[in-house]
A and B are shown apart, each in its own frame.
Chain A
Amino acid sequence: MRIVVCVKQVAVLGDEVEFADDALDVDPDYLDFALNEWDSYATEEALRTRESLDADDDEIVVVSVGDPRAENAIRRCLAMGADRAIRVDRSGSADPITLARLLAPVVQREAPDLVFCGVQSSDAVQAATGTALAELLGLPRVAVVTRIEWDPGGARATVHRELEGGLVDVTEVNLPALLTIQTGINQPRYATLRAIKQAEQKEIEVVSPAEGGEPAFRVCRMFVPPREEGAQMLDGGPADIARRIREIIEERLK
């Protein structure tokens, strides 16, 4: 069985924000980068699927769209235990439909039995790339999966979809299929120092991006939203703050 895991290196904004001169995005100097949290769960789920199905020819392939810097995130997945990685060489942020179009030919070429994506990325929160990718690949899909049970042999899965309020929708799907993986489905393993070192040596295949087509949206302005009225900030040291909190609680619980 071949499992493709699509991962993204996400941008994390710190305490301060400045925008690029064109005001269309945050100045990259104010961003840190990390493997998307949802994608570490997706990678872990691929590893566990391989372990539970225990077939001889299993392979886990990580695919990501990004510039060379994104290889840090890719190597984290290799260090966790993925076998191989492919980076679609493209810089800058992209809308989820465009991302799906860039991922599709690369994933298609791998002819996977199973594709895992994170439900969403922490920087964009579109929750759309996986579902769009499934469509382009012609695969059945299930979004927001918190549990997977395999039929013997792994031809069919019974999965839990987590709906609002914690209600679970039990759904079945035949392979090949694409599942978007929710946080909490497992506990992602920490890579050992040795595995991290080994992952640094692994070659990451770099491919040129396909034609992404017309973007699904364009940013015309990015800005810090005004804070809603009423958020009164409590000053002073921890003791002062605690005292004020205590007063507010007492007053409001009356």
Chain B
Amino acid sequence: MSAATMNGTLVVAEHLQGKLRDVTRELVTAARGLGGPVAIAVIAPDPSQFDVNLEGVDEIVGVPVAQQEFENDVYQQALEALIAERHPDAVLLGFTVNSMGYGPAVAAKLGLGFASDVHGLAREGDAIVATRSFYGGKVDAELEFPAGRAVLLLVRPTAFPPAENGGSAATTQFAVDVQPSRARHLEFQEAPVGDVDITTADFLLSIGRGIGEQEAIPQFEQLAEKLGAILSVSRPLVDAGWMPNARQVGQSGKTVKPKVYLALGISGAVQHLAGMKTSETIIAVNTDPEAAIFKVAHFGAVADLFDVAEELEKLS
């Protein structure tokens, strides 16, 4: 093992409203795959509040700061200090809204190798090779990074299995002098509660951008009722103001796991797939044979969704 790899991988734990987020466990699994020691940093007023003694973690680094909730400058300063002190050869963060707010800033400032939405990770010799998608998830690419520099990667949630509890990590404290964040957290507001709870439905009829126009929605409300399904939607329909946020499936909406998920005209953006890919049975209809939704679907049909909807209506 070279000197560079001896420094190992640093994972930054993510927490929100007092809870450790699932992606933290996944990052540990990804870090273990790289070989070398794995350290996990917990940035919080009381870092011991979060149990990150996960299998495969060698060291827990508590980084006490004044702020309980995420603020981007606080995390940036803490991570920069950790990198300066410990020289990890890889830093793994979740590809999450919080990490988007500081990870790229650290990479730009320190001149690190960088990529986000990474869903595959390997070490080839001394080099780290990351896999991520391009062009709407239709192609993948393997990336290599500048030699002799650390690499900072934002790893796609759910891409790696979660590490289990029961590690035997040593715990250390890392004192850092952090200036207050210029962007300041004030409060959280919960997502509005809707008239239906799509997370408890057995059967979701889910429609996306493919329906084309707002005028088409009543037709699918009717079809859902006939089929005995609850109607859910992908993000573009909420963005357009056609449907309420409570009906949205995906990373910024609801995570669903129905017995049947019937997707009409949904191409399958990563953020959408994250919210439905564990559904028991996924059926997808799309005109684009390369649509990413077909990668997670159990059954697929390349067809016009209106033609299929019309036929389904007749059968009901």
Contacts and interface: CB of A to CB of B under 8 A. Distances in A.
Given A165-B255, A241-B285, A241-B301, A26 B188 contact: no
B143 A168 contact: no
Contact of B184 (A16, A162, A171): A171
Contact of A222 (B113, B139, B283): B139
Most A Cβ at <10 Å: residue of B252, B295, B308: B252
Interface stretch (B4-12, B38-46, B55-63, B96-104): B96-104
Contact of A225 (B133, B182, B239, B299): B133
B117 to A, nearest CB: 5
A248 B133 CA distance: 31
Nearest to B124: A220
Nearest to B289: A15
B76 to A, nearest CB: 8
B139 A234 contact: no
Contacts of A141: 72, 101, 105, 183
Interface string B206-235: 000000000000000000000110000001
Interface in B155-199: 157, 181-192
Nearest to B229: A249
A219 B145 CA distance: 9
A153 interface: no
A207 interface: no
B114 A216 contact: yes
A94 B133 CA distance: 15
Question: Counting chain A CB atoms within 10 Å of each CB, which of B103, B182, B307 scores highest?
Answer: B182
Interface magnitude class on chain A: 35 or more
Nearest to A249: B260
Interface stretch (A47-55, A70-78, A121-129, A191-199): A121-129
Interface stretch (A59-67, A80-88, A131-139): A131-139
Interface residues of B, number: 102
Q: Taking chain A's interface residues, is the majority helix, strand, or loop, or is none over half, making it mixed?
A: mixed
B104 A13 contact: no
Interface stretch (B28-36, B83-91, B240-248): B240-248
Given A95-B114, A245-B301, A167 B105 contact: no
Contacts of B302: 233
Interface in A217-248: 217-225, 227-228, 230-234, 237-239, 241-246, 248
Contacts of B251: 164-165
Given A136-B108, A167-B191, A239-B311, A184 B239 contact: yes
B191 to A, nearest CB: 3
Interface in B263-316: 270, 280-281, 283, 285, 288-290, 294-304, 307-308, 310-312, 314-315
> Considering the complex of A and B, which 6 residue pairs feature the smallest CB-CB distances, nearest first?
A166-B191, A140-B182, A242-B311, A184-B239, A128-B104, A238-B307
